Amino acid sequence: MATASENYQLLVDYYEAHGDGGPESVERMASFYTKDKPAYIAGNSSLSGNIKNTEEAVEYLLRLQELNGGKVELVGKPTILLAGDTVVAVVINQRHTQVGKPELIVPRLCVYEITDGKLSRAFMWQLESKIFDEYYPRSE
């Protein structure tokens, strides 16, 4: 089991791998995932729901980039709220820029479970859920 300090550094490295948020970032970020990493994205947007494994997590990140002209940027540095021996909680601010819509900066709370030095499960909440849901409406 890793120490809280090691897990803290894992998340620092993970978000540094995000880089400018372009397509190359997805492969770099996915290298931090276990083979079958599930995730839960809260809300009622077209991007919300359960992700079953790493392959779907990569598809999610690529779809998010596609909707935003090829990249999703982080605004400022992530704020790690808690780093334990199996869980890390972080707040990030993402810049979303869709054609024909105003720019949106969304704070997101991300909680990661960590196993053997890899992100093994993720839970994400948009702190301004209604705005995010309206930006990415579900198709009827």
Q: Which residues of 36-52 are buried (b: 16+ CB within 10 A; e: fewer)?
A: ebbbebbbebebbbebe
**Would you state the pLDDT for residue 13?**
96
Question: Residues with Cβ < 8 Å from 22, sequence gap 6 or more?
Answer: 65, 70, 71
For the chain, the first-to-last Cα distance in angstroms comes to: 45
Helix (H) or strand (E) holding 23: helix 23-30
**Would you state the pLDDT for residue 22?**
84
pLDDT digits (tens, 9 = 90+) for 5-19: 999 999 999 999 998
Q: Is the confidence at residue 57, as pLDDT, over 70?
A: yes
- Tell me what the pLDDT averaged over the chain comes to: 94
Burial class (CB in 10 A: 0-12, 13-18, 19+), 119: buried
pLDDT digits (tens, 9 = 90+) for 21-47: 888 899 999 999 999 999 999 999 999
pLDDT digits (tens, 9 = 90+) for 111-122: 999 999 999 999
Per the DSSP assignment, residues forming a β-bridge with 33 are: 119
For the domain 4-135, what is the CATH code? 3.10.450.50
Identify residue 106 by its one-letter amino acid code.
Answer: V
42 against 71, higher pLDDT: 42
Confidence band, pLDDT 50/70/90 cuts, at residue 140: low
Domain borders along the chain are: 4-135
Q: What pTM does this model have?
A: 0.92
Confidence band, pLDDT 50/70/90 cuts, at residue 51: very high
Q: d(Cα 101, Cα 26) in Å, to the nearest integer?
A: 24
Share of the chain above pLDDT 90, in %: 88
Taken in order 80, 89, 98, 63, the sign of the CA dihedral is positive
Q: How confident is the model over 74-99, as a mean pLDDT?
A: 96
